[in-house]
């Protein structure tokens, strides 16, 4: 796909990886539809994209709200006249053990704690992917959908909810890559390792040091390294239904 003048929607574009992917694609000449629940953060990303000389519009959107997501993707096509790509990036963490036993007291992960993460990370990806594909097909555009998974998809202590959601969005990407190819739509996933963003910024120094020891390259990844991978997937038309692990070779 030629990125120049293509229209790419990014969820969770207000900060972190979503913002960096928006700026990287803007530098390549893409126009951006920026989605997030946080509209102040969105404006910041939009201004930075505009400085790079591309059209960028913001859509305050909760990816878990079906009617809202349908409306936003219809608005994107109304505003830009086309949709060529989507990055399903919006995601949250609500870490906790499935069962915790302390001083003979047992606590369990609540269904609410489990479902809240599944709702944003998995159901949100499903809804946005479905609506983006519908718009691409209706407007007869070829397109690309990228789901942001995680190294945690392999399973990680304290992350039943997050790991399950990230395994599922990787599987959605491989499923969509096979199912939507007949319409000229490709799909892929990126499974980042531990990347320097506010999601990881709150780590204690000891935890950070322990983590860096698990990465053969000896450091956390940068948002630029994930954004570069997204750009590569958009531009290479032979990539489809595959998952890219960008994690420094971390031992999990």
Ligand X SMILES: NC(=O)c1ccc[n+]([C@@H]2O[C@H](COP(=O)([O-])OP(=O)(O)OC[C@H]3O[C@@H](n4cnc5c(N)ncnc54)[C@H](O)[C@@H]3O)[C@@H](O)[C@H]2O)c1
The residues in 195-214 that bind ligand X, with binding defined as CB under 6 A, are 195, 197-200
Pick 13 or 141: Cβ nearer ligand X: 13
Q: Exposed, middle or buried: residue 62 (CB in 10 Å: 0-12, 13-18, 19+)?
A: middle
Phi, psi of 244 (to 5 degrees): -100, 120
Contact flag: residue 125 with ligand X (CB under 6 A): no
Contact flag: residue 9 with ligand X (CB under 6 A): no
* CA 132 – CA 125 distance, rounded (Å): 10
Structural element, H or E, at residue 169:
helix 160-179
For ligand X, how many residues bind (rule: CB under 6 A)? Answer: 30
For the record, the structure tokens of 44 come out as 């910041």
Q: Is 59 in the active site?
A: no
Pick 141 or 160: Cβ nearer ligand X: 160
The residues in 49-68 that bind ligand X, with binding defined as CB under 6 A, are 61-64
* CA 132 – CA 241 distance, rounded (Å): 17
Q: Exposed, middle or buried: residue 83 (CB in 10 Å: 0-12, 13-18, 19+)?
A: buried
CB of 176 to ligand X, least distance (A): 17
Pick 140 or 198: Cβ nearer ligand X: 198
Which x/- pattern over 13-52 shows residues binding ligand X (rule: CB under 6 A)? -xxxxx-----------------xxx--x-----------
Ranges assigned E (strand) in the chain: 7-11, 31-36, 56-60, 85-88, 99-102, 105-108, 143-148, 185-192, 242-246
CB of 63 to ligand X, least distance (A): 4
CB of 80 to ligand X, least distance (A): 19
So which residues are the catalytic ones? Answer: 162
Q: Give residues in contact with ligand X (CB under 6 A).
A: 11-12, 14-18, 36-38, 41, 61-64, 89-92, 120, 124, 148, 150, 192, 194-195, 197-200
């Amino acid at each position: 796909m030629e990125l120049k003048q293509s229209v790419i929607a990014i969820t969770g574009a207000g900060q972190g990886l979503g913002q960096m992917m928006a700026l990287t694609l803007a530098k390549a000449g893409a126009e951006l539809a920026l989605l997030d629940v946080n509209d102040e953060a969105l404006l910041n990303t939009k201004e930075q994209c505009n400085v790079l000389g591309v059209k960028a519009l913001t859509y305050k959107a909760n990816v878990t709200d079906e009617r809202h997501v349908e409306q936003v993707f219809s608005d994107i096509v109304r505003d830009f006249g086309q949709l060529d790509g989507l990055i399903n990036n919006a995601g949250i963490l609500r870490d906790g053990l499935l069962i915790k036993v302390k001083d003979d007291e047992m606590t369990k992960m609540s269904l609410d704690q489990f479902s809240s993460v599944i709702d944003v990370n998995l159901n949100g990806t499903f809804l946005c992917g479905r609506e983006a594909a519908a718009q691409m097909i209706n407007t007869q555009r070829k397109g690309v959908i990228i789901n942001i998974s995680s190294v945690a998809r392999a399973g990680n202590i304290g992350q039943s909810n997050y790991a399950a959601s990230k395994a599922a969005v990787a599987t959605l990407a491989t499923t969509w890559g096979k199912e939507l190819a007949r319409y000229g739509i490709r799909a892929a996933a990126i499974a980042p390792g531990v990347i320097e963003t506010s999601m990881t910024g709150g780590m204690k120094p000891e935890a950070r040091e322990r983590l860096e020891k698990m990465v053969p390259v000896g450091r956390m990844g940068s948002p630029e390294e994930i954004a570069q991978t997204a750009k590569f997937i958009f531009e290479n038309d032979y990539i489809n239904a595959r998952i890219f692990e960008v994690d420094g070779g971390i031992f999990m």
